[in-house]
Amino acid sequence: MSAVHAPRKRFGQHFLASPGVVAKIVAAIDPQPGDVVVEIGPGLGALTEPLLARLPHLHVVEIDRDIVARLAASHPPERLTIHAGDVLEFDFGTLPAGLRIVGNLPYNISTPILFRLVPQAARLRDMHFMLQREVVDRMVAAPSTAAYGRLSVMLQVRYAMARLFDVPPGAFRPPPRVDSAVIRMVPRADAPACDDAALAQVVTAAFTKRRKTLRNALAGAVREDALEALGLDPRLRPENLSVDDYVGLARYAND
């Protein structure tokens, strides 16, 4: 990979360039030879190379055709399987259960990627991502806080999450205009039984009108008797409800 690759804004490319941060991420992942790992957006290989040093084989998903060509030219297919294309269209179900997913996610599509991975929880072992710090704040936010919202509920219902460490802009080339953070996501063994579509419907309705009371925010999204049946004060606001409260409301979602 001798030619210099110019980062492309349309792909949200900010390449990790700090050996110290890379070492911390790989240590957090702790890849073992028997693991099936897929990296989203390998870029110039900052994580790819140290992962391959500890794994006999690695899957990567990459949309940039120039990077795909560089990876293919420098790694034999028996070591690196390259899934060329948009991660938002990639079928993770084609990979074995117990999958571990890692990546420095493109910040411009990180939230859609996270939502796409919600239904995969039962097939995954864990995920480790670098994300915009503000997004990580929302992912781990507790009820009744400003950061708590749709992303918090939809992820926390399926995953236990741990914020590992923050990463400054200077760790990337080019530096982003925001701070970043690394998060670990592990599927919950105690995840409640829930209709994901119904939950999404209720949560979206609630946080689209997060400044309104529950009675007004959820009007039309859940049956009229839902709040009373669950013992919820209709004067509360959407951010005051717990994840379990939303799971309960999903059972009363209007068809």
3-state secondary structure labels for all residues of the chain: CCCCCCCCHHHCCCEECCHHHHHHHHHHHCCCCCCCEEEECCCCCCCHHHHHCCCCCEEEEECCHHHHHHHHHHCCCCCEEEEECCHHHCCHHHCCCCEEEEEECCHHHHHHHHHHHHHHHHHEEEEEEEEEHHHHHHHHCCCCCCCCCHHHHHHHCCEEEEEEEEECHHHEECCCCCCEEEEEEEECCCCCCCCHHHHHHHHHHHHHCCCCCHHHHCECCECCCHHHHCCCCCCCCHHHCCHHHHHHHHCCECC
Q: What is the Cα–Cα distance from 28 to 24, expressed in whole angstroms?
A: 6
Q: Do domains 9-187 and 196-250 have the same CATH topology?
A: no
Domain ranges of the chain: 9-187, 196-250
Confidence (pLDDT) at 15: 82
Q: Determine the pLDDT at residue 12.
A: 45
Q: Output the six-digit token pair for 182.
A: 């690394």
For residue 69, how many C-alpha atoms fall within 13 Å in the half-sphere facing its CB? 6
Residue 132 has what pLDDT? Answer: 95
Q: What are the two backbone dihedrals, phi and then psi, of residue 52, each rounded to the nearest 5 degrees?
A: -65, -25
Each residue's pLDDT expressed in tens, for the chain with a length of 255 residues: 444 544 444 444 578 989 999 999 999 999 999 999 999 999 889 999 999 999 999 999 999 999 999 999 999 999 999 999 999 999 999 999 999 999 999 888 999 999 999 989 999 999 999 999 999 999 999 999 999 999 999 999 999 999 999 999 999 988 888 999 999 999 999 999 999 999 999 999 999 999 999 999 999 999 999 999 999 999 999 999 999 999 999 999 986
Fold of 196-250: Helicase, Ruva Protein; domain 3 (1.10.8)
Residue 179 CB neighbour total at 10 angstroms? 14
As a whole number of angstroms, the distance between CA 176 and CA 14 comes to: 7
Cα(242)–Cα(247) distance, integer angstroms: 9
pLDDT at 174: 83
CATH class for the region spanning 9-187: alpha beta
- Looking at residue 108, its pLDDT comes to 86
